[in-house]
């Protein structure tokens, strides 16, 4: 028996990864869950876990997708060589079709280019691959389950793709010393025999759970509870509702029970609903639910009877309580989920291109038909395009017959660095807290600045003006010196901060930065204007915000307002900036950094 390699450890051999493992088991039990995405930093064992599925389901097709594979590898196409040799059409099937009935492993789905991601999610949804390209029209079945992973610090995958997967697991970082030690020990002294026993055990469990699944009872109240939780978290669409119900049942089945219990519902909420949240639930656990009438407005009994007869039944106390309990169990993880996954984005009318494929530098991502006027010709792709027509054309000419239809030009995706401008509200009582968040975020960005060729600038605003604490830099050292001492308190000159940001951005533009992201940490309540008196402050801010948007700066407003009552200022600001809005009163710097990087790469 061969030694298990470091990245391919049997699934039974991992420790402290119970929830992710459970997710994989549930996917094995119910194929309608479609897939699992593991969100975790590099080196946390996610790759090993995903590969472990192969041992749980050894008899099913297994296809691994290399990173950066193109649409043709996914879809398949004409096997040119065989076709020309045999003089008849020979089709080479793509990864999606080969995975039919089994599993498709595609790691780092956040780094996948848009074209491939779209192809993948289309097939995932329909269970069919449709090819309409290069003279071919084909349909082949492709019902597969997708196993994927991503490192949130490298940006989140497209929400569209994630939405089609049943479960999204935000993996815990293993902190406990013993668990870490145990992982290392197992890597160093693999005990293949124990593992194979364990894998066998798990396979047996999957078998019995699959038989149990149709018999699992899920009550009406439980169903409502999940849907109510989804609604409270602002989950978009109805796929999640269905997935949550399926997860709850699969979880009960794996527990070899015949009815769904509290823990199953909580697991469903954690794996399906929480990652798709777009907002924090509006009411706290103690506040009365909005549906129940307040004492003052309670109508007299006779009027009430009338109302009840034609209005929807009020949710039962018990039902609401259940939904609240589920929400409460998620409270700790919610802020991170909102920050690091792409579901919470509120795009407000951003227009223009994403600036993805352009220019002559960067990574060659695809080749498209077109004449090579000032662009690089992709010789291989051009010859491939020409090859299929040779039989027709050589009747007329000698040698390789090329026509203008064959030319393929290369498209590149360049990876120019981005400039992140952090503008931090240093006024008011929460200033220190915001500054800490900003410092953490800047630090996190700078740590990767070298890789991405990014620059970060930091400015603080209070009283009547904005101070540039840190001009655009890639140095962590400068940051440390810049923000050691900072005065806080006083008025909120939002307008001044926008002017200062514009100045920094203009300078950076002249030095060639095309991708500029403004991250504003504020509660959004401006009260000090540039020229305007108090009553004109809002208009002034709005006009300046439009100016920022017009110069092509992308913005992310982080709302640090703690009270829900006065929310809305920062939302309006984000809208005026045509930017993204995130409500993150207590986020970690790293979460903010991840959100900012996502804006830069959107």
Partner 1 sequence: MQQTFPFTAIVGQEDLKLAVLLSVIDPAIGGVLITGHRGTAKSTAIRALADLLPPVKVVTGCPYRCDPTEHSPDCPHCSNQATLKSQIQAVPVVDLPLGATEDRVVGSVDLERALVDGVQAFSPGLLAAAHRGFLYIDEVNLLEDHLVDLLLDVAASGRNVVEREGLSVRHPARFVLIGSGNPEEGDLRPQLLDRFGLHARIKTLHDIEQRVEVVRRRLAFENDASAFVASFDKEQSALRKRLQKAINAKPKVTLPESALMLAAQLCDRLGIDGHRGELALTRAAVALAAYEGKKSADPELVARVAPLALAHRLRKDPLEPAADDERVKRVLEEALG
Binding site for partner 1 (CB under 8 A): 32, 71, 75, 78, 83-84, 87-89, 114-115, 118-119, 122, 125, 130-137, 158-160, 163, 223-224, 227-228, 230-231, 235-242, 245, 312, 315, 345, 347, 349-352, 354, 369, 388-389, 391-392, 395, 403, 405, 542, 546, 549, 576, 578
Q: How far is the CB of 187 from partner 1 (least distance, A)?
A: 40
Contact (CB, 8 A) for 582 and 570: no
d(CA 339, CA 105): 26
Sheet holding 418-425, edge to edge: 465-473, 455-462, 418-425, 515-522, 554-559, 580-583
Q: Shortest gap between Cβ of 79 and partner 1 (angstroms)?
A: 12
Strands 418-425 and 408-413: unpaired
Q: Which is nearer to partner 1, 171 or 409 (CB)?
A: 409
Q: Measured from the CB atom, is 38 or 545 closer to partner 1?
A: 545
Of 163 and 266, which has the nearer Cβ to partner 1?
163
Minimum CB–partner distance for residue 411 and partner 1 (Å): 11
Minimum CB–partner distance for residue 587 and partner 1 (Å)? 21
Residue placing its CB nearer to partner 1 in the complex, 10 or 315:
315
| Closest distance of CB 443 from partner 1, Å | 30
Closest distance to partner 1 from the beta carbon of 32 (Å): 7
CB of 453 to partner 1, least distance (A): 25
Reduced to 3 states, what is the DSSP secondary structure of residue 467? strand
Q: Which residue, 91 or 468, is less far from partner 1 as judged by CB?
A: 91
Q: How many Cα atoms sit within 13 Å of 599 on the Cβ side?
A: 35
Cβ closer to partner 1: 44 or 251?
Answer: 251
Separate counts of helices (H) and strands (E) for the chain: 24, 17
C-alpha span between 182 and 404 (Å, rounded): 62
Q: Which is nearer to partner 1, 84 or 334 (CB)?
A: 84
What is the C-alpha to C-alpha distance for residues 269 and 225, in angstroms, rounded to an integer? 10
CA distance 50 to 57: 12
Would you say 110 and 66 are in contact if contact means Cβ atoms under 8 Å apart?
no
Tell me the closest approach of the beta carbon of residue 167 to partner 1, in angstroms. 15
- Could you give the CA distance from residue 177 to residue 571 in angstroms, rounded to a whole number? 43
C-alpha to C-alpha distance for 249 and 212, rounded to whole angstroms: 10
Minimum CB–partner distance for residue 88 and partner 1 (Å): 6
- Pairing of the two strands 418-425 and 515-522: parallel
Per-position DSSP letters for 270-296, written without gaps between them:
IIIIGGG--S--SS-SSSPPTTSPPGG
Q: In the numeric block, which tokens belong to residue 265?
A: 């519902």
Provide CB contacts within 8 A for 466, sequence distance 6+. 423, 459, 460, 493, 496, 497, 499, 500, 501
Closer to partner 1 by CB, 206 or 578: give it: 578
Closer of 241 and 523 to partner 1 (Cβ): 241
**Nearest distance in Å: CB 149, partner 1:** 21
In angstroms, give the least distance from the CB of 193 to partner 1: 41
Minimum distance from residue 352 beta carbon to partner 1 (Å)? 8
- The secondary structure of 121-179, three-state, reads HHHHHHCEEEEEECCEEEEEECCCEEEEEECHHHCCCCHHHHHCCCEEEECCCCCCHHH
Least Å distance, CB 11 to partner 1, is: 28
Q: Which of 426, 459, 464 is nearest to 560 (CA)?
A: 426
The smaller minimum CB distance to partner 1, of residues 351 and 563, is found at 351
Q: Which helix or strand (DSSP H or E) is residue 561 part of?
A: none
Residue 266 CA to residue 207 CA, distance in Å, equals 24
Pick 264 or 425: Cβ nearer partner 1: 264
Evaluate whether 320 touches 228 at the Cβ level (below 8 Å): yes
Identify which of residues 229 and 437 has a Cβ nearer to partner 1 in the complex: 229
Name the residue nearer to partner 1 (CB basis): 162 or 438.
162
Helical segments of 374-493, H only: 379-387, 390-393, 431-447, 449-452, 476-482
């Amino acid at each position: 028996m061969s030694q298990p390699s470091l990245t391919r450890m049997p699934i039974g051999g991992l420790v402290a990864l119970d929830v992710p493992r459970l997710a994989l088991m549930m996917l094995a039990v119910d194929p309608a869950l479609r897939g699992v995405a593991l969100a975790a930093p590099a080196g946390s064992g996610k790759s090993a876990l995903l590969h472990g599925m192969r041992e749980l389901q050894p008899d099913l097709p297994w296809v691994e997708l290399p990173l950066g594979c193109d649409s043709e590898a996914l879809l398949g196409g004409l096997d040119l060589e065989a076709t020309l040799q045999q003089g008849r059409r020979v089709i080479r099937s793509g990864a999606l079709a080969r995975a039919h009935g089994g599993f498709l492993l595609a790691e780092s789905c956040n780094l996948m280019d848009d074209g491939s991601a779209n192809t993948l999610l289309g097939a995932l949804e329909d269970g069919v691959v449709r090819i309409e390209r290069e003279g071919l029209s084909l349909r082949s079945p492709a019902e597969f389950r997708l196993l994927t992973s991503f490192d949130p610090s490298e940006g989140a995958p497209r929400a569209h793709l994630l939405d089609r997967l049943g479960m999204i697991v935000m993996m815990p970082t293993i902190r406990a010393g013993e668990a870490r030690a145990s992982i290392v020990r197992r890597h160093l002294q693999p005990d293949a025999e124990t593992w194979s026993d364990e894998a066998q055990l798990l396979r047996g469990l999957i078998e019995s759970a699959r038989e149990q699944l149709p018999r699992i009872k899920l009550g009406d109240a439980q169903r409502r509870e999940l849907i109510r939780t989804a609604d409270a978290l602002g989950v978009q669409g109805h796929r999640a509702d269905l997935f949550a119900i399926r997860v709850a049942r699969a979880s009960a089945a794996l527990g070899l029970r015949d009815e769904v219990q509290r823990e199953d519902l909580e697991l469903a909420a954690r794996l399906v609903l929480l990652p798709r949240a777009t907002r924090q639930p509006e009411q706290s656990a103690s506040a009365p639910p909005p549906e129940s009438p307040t004492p003052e407005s309670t109508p007299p009994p006779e009027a009430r009877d009338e109302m009840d007869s034609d209005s929807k039944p009020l949710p039962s106390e018990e039902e609401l309580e259940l939904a609240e309990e589920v929400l409460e169990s998620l409270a700790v993880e919610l802020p991170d989920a909102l920050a690091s996954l792409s579901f919470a984005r509120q795009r407000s009318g951003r227009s223009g291109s994403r600036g993805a494929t352009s220019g002559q530098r960067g990574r060659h991502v695809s080749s498209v038909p077109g004449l090579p006027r000032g662009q690089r010709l992709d010789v291989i792709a051009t010859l491939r395009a020409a090859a299929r027509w040779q039989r027709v054309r050589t009747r007329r000419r000698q040698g390789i017959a090329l026509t203008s239809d064959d030319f393929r030009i290369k498209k590149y995706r360049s990876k120019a660095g981005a400039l992140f401008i952090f503008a931090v509200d240093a006024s008011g009582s929460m200033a220190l807290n915001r500054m800490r968040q900003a410092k953490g975020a800047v630090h996190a960005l700078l740590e990767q600045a070298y890789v991405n060729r990014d620059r970060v600038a930091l400015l603080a605003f209070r009283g009547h003006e904005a101070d540039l604490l840190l001009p655009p830099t890639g140095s962590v050292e400068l940051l440390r010196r810049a923000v050691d001492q900072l005065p806080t308190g006083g008025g909120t000159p939002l307008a001044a901060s926008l002017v200062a940001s514009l100045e920094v951005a203009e300078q950076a533009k002249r030095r060639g930065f095309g991708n500029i992201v403004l991250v504003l940490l504020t509660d959004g309540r401006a009260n000090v204007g540039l020229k305007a008196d108090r009553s004109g402050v809002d208009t002034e801010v709005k006009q300046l915000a439009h100016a920022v948007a017009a110069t092509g700066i992308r913005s992310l407003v982080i709302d640090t307002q703690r009270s829900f009552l006065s929310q809305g200022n920062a939302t309006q600001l984000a809208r005026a900036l045509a930017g993204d809005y995130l409500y993150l009163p207590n986020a970690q710097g790293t979460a903010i950094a991840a959100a900012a990087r996502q804006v830069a790469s959107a």
